[in-house]
Structure 1
Amino acid sequence: MDEYLADRFEAHRAHLIAVAYRMLGSLAEAEDAVQEAWLRLARVDHDSIDNLGGWLTTAVSRVCLDLLRSRRSRREDSFEEQLPDPMVVMDDGTEPEQQVVLADSIGMALLVVLDSLNPAERLAFVLHDMFAMPFDQIAPILGKSSAATKMIASRARRRVQGGTPRLDADLPRQRRAVAAFLAAARDGSFDALLSLLDPDVVLRADSGVGGIQIMRGAPVVAGLLDTFHQFANRYDVVPALVNGVAGLLSTADGSPMSVIAFTVADDRITGIDLLADSTRLAALPLPTTHPSR
């Protein structure tokens, strides 16, 4: 394939990765989907493509739809699910605009809700609501009419709005709540921890064994104090931005042990998403940490 076309493809790569990641919640699968679109491009007459960006977005969307359907079938057989891949950067105390936008568009809590949609709903919602693709362009991907596609997206939108917890956009307020959580965990203070948790807090933990473990309610989550205490004092734990929201990254001898994303509203922690699957963590592009204590 000629260098000119390759350069044009690379110009669209970031957008294609963004689409695929929101579709799949997996960084590795997003990369694979974009690579497959590149291979499909090599098999068509390039002169027949009027809008390369649109063609590539459609190609990636079709690949993602196939992957989502295959994944759904596997999960129905295994009854196992997993948390989405987090996007993690070190938190230096600033408020970078791109992280704020990321939190608004694809925070971990939203990704978890997207994972509960069926493949058609997820594709329609992501393409229309996140990337403003018209329904008449989404419909052929789903093999539906524009009217039916609009109804699918509307149904998905209601489920997303009903299932995504409210998030304080103020990053400093998020940081204060997370710092207080870490202090309470290090001190082993049940009362301090309980005071930080919303009464309806939900903790989702993915250790890579047995699917996602879900715990609900402040007393239940605070009851994990001994686990939090060991985590906070055994590992090196540093502030991080996880999909644009305040979180924590823990390591031991340079190896990642966990990534935690917090959902904070009205200075209370309403959601905790904890990924502690060592195999997945080792494969993620996590930042290098330096001892914090």
Structure 2
Amino acid sequence: MTTTTDPAAEFETHRPRMFALAYRLLGSAQEADDAVQDAYLRWSKAVRADIEQPAAWLAKVVTNLCVNRLTSARARREEYVGPWLPEPVVTGSGALGPLDSAEQRDSVSTALLVLLERLTPAERAVYVLREAFAYSHREIAGVLDVGEANARQLYGRAVRRVAAGTPRFVPRPEQQRGLVESFIAAAREGDVAGLEKLLADDVTWWGDGGGRITAARRPIVGREKVLRFLAGAAERFLVGVELAAVEVNGWTALVARLGGELTAVASFEVREDGAIADVRVVVNPEKLTFVRRQLGAAGG
């Protein structure tokens, strides 16, 4: 039983973990913030004596709020203009919890969050609780108010559906950073040959503009097509743009600024042979609001 006399202060001690959970469930920093705030409203009205384990109580509330949000989000994302990508989050300062291992980093990677979009809300909740937060099947059953056997079935389906995607390679952090820095150097210098060496033959370029800003509305597939796209983009959009490497979603990413204003965040997926297999670029201004705030606060 909690004995704190300041519920607001106690909630703040749990907020970082609740945000980390909500973001993994929703793939949206702004929606995660909203879900955590909704959880706070429920927390503030709850009878303190009824809450034996605050962390568990809040995790259940946040998870179920997110499951409900995912149900409506699926319909919105089906109507989204162009590819839908998760909102980027700067993670170097611990915004999504400890990311000390490759597995922890991968739990918030853009690539995995994209794969999680293929799951039902319940499957996604079970997968995140099990994989990222090490919940037992019994604990997950309690969070979702389902039987333990049902929780196991949901987890099994989720694992199979995630594994059905393109096999993914998790690089060493220094390997990822070196590749992104090489990409930035080649882009700055207009070194087409250098970029060509970095890209896989079947590389795919994804651009998320949400219909609010110019971006490729369909994935661009193949090294030659991506290079042609980059050459055209450089002429139209990269004049005066500053490029830098920043840890985003657990891995080194590229951030672009024009006149000091953040304009794009690009995440890279690497193959085992060291070539770039996917580039996912968020340019939708609404999706850059959270990371812009982070970079501003950090002076980055």
TM-score (norm 1): 0.85
Partner of 1:221: 226
Q: What amino acid maps onto 1:223 in structure 2?
A: R
**Structure 2: distance between partners of 1:191 and 1:107:** 28
Partner of 2:43: 41
**Of residues 266, 274, 286 in structure 2, which corresponds to 1:279?**
286
Number of aligned residue pairs: 287
Q: In the alignment, is the contact (CA less than 8 A) between 1:187 and 1:229 conserved in 2?
A: no
**Of residues 173, 176, 185 in structure 2, which corresponds to 1:174?**
176
How much does 1:81 deviate? 5.5
**Of residues 213, 221, 238 in structure 1, which corresponds to 2:244?**
238
How much does 1:223 deviate? 2.5
Local SS of the residue matching 1:274: strand
**Structure 2: distance between partners of 1:277 and 1:78:** 11
Q: In the alignment, is the contact (CA less than 8 A) between 1:139 and 1:146 conserved in 2?
A: yes
Asked whether 1:254 is paired with 2:260, we answer yes
- Distance 1:246-1:227 versus aligned 2 partners, 3 A rule: farther
Q: In the alignment, is the contact (CA less than 8 A) between 2:80 and 2:210 conserved in 1?
A: no
- Distance 1:165-1:85 versus aligned 2 partners, 3 A rule: farther
Partner of 1:160: 162
Local SS of the residue matching 2:107: helix
Partner of 1:6: 8
**Of residues 167, 186, 189 in structure 1, which corresponds to 2:188?**
186
How much does 1:194 deviate? 2.2
Q: What amino acid maps onto 2:110 in structure 1?
A: M
Q: Report the more deviating stretch, 257-266 or 211-220.
A: 211-220
Q: Report the more deviating stretch, 30-39 or 170-179.
A: 170-179
Q: In the alignment, is the contact (CA less than 8 A) between 1:165 and 1:270 conserved in 2?
A: no
**Structure 2: distance between partners of 1:45 and 1:127:** 26
**Structure 2: distance between partners of 1:233 and 1:79:** 26
How much does 1:45 deviate? 2.0
Q: In the alignment, is the contact (CA less than 8 A) between 1:185 and 1:232 conserved in 2?
A: no
**Structure 2: distance between partners of 1:99 and 1:170:** 10
- Distance 1:278-1:6 versus aligned 2 partners, 3 A rule: closer
How much does 1:88 deviate? 2.3
**Structure 1: distance between partners of 2:135 and 2:217:** 32
Q: In the alignment, is the contact (CA less than 8 A) between 1:113 and 1:164 conserved in 2?
A: no
Q: Report the more deviating stretch, 212-221 or 56-65.
A: 212-221
Q: Report the more deviating stretch, 141-150 or 71-80.
A: 71-80
How much does 1:97 deviate? 6.2
- Distance 1:53-1:164 versus aligned 2 partners, 3 A rule: farther
Q: In the alignment, is the contact (CA less than 8 A) between 1:109 and 1:165 conserved in 2?
A: no
Q: In the alignment, is the contact (CA less than 8 A) between 1:185 and 1:228 conserved in 2?
A: no
Q: In the alignment, is the contact (CA less than 8 A) between 1:255 and 1:282 conserved in 2?
A: no
**Structure 1: distance between partners of 2:73 and 2:135:** 24
- Distance 1:46-1:283 versus aligned 2 partners, 3 A rule: same
Q: In the alignment, is the contact (CA less than 8 A) between 1:121 and 1:153 conserved in 2?
A: yes
How much does 1:165 deviate? 5.0
Partner of 1:195: 197
Asked whether 1:55 is paired with 2:63, we answer no
Local SS of the residue matching 2:34: helix
**Structure 2: distance between partners of 1:145 and 1:90:** 38
Trace 1:71-90 onto structure 2 (pairs within 5 A): 71-76=73-78, 82-88=84-90
**Structure 2: distance between partners of 1:173 and 1:187:** 21
Local SS of the residue matching 1:263: strand
**Structure 2: distance between partners of 1:78 and 1:170:** 33
Q: What amino acid maps onto 1:269 in structure 2?
A: I
Q: In the alignment, is the contact (CA less than 8 A) between 1:110 and 1:164 conserved in 2?
A: no
Partner of 1:267: 274
Q: In the alignment, is the contact (CA less than 8 A) between 2:83 and 2:217 conserved in 1?
A: yes
- Distance 1:212-1:124 versus aligned 2 partners, 3 A rule: farther
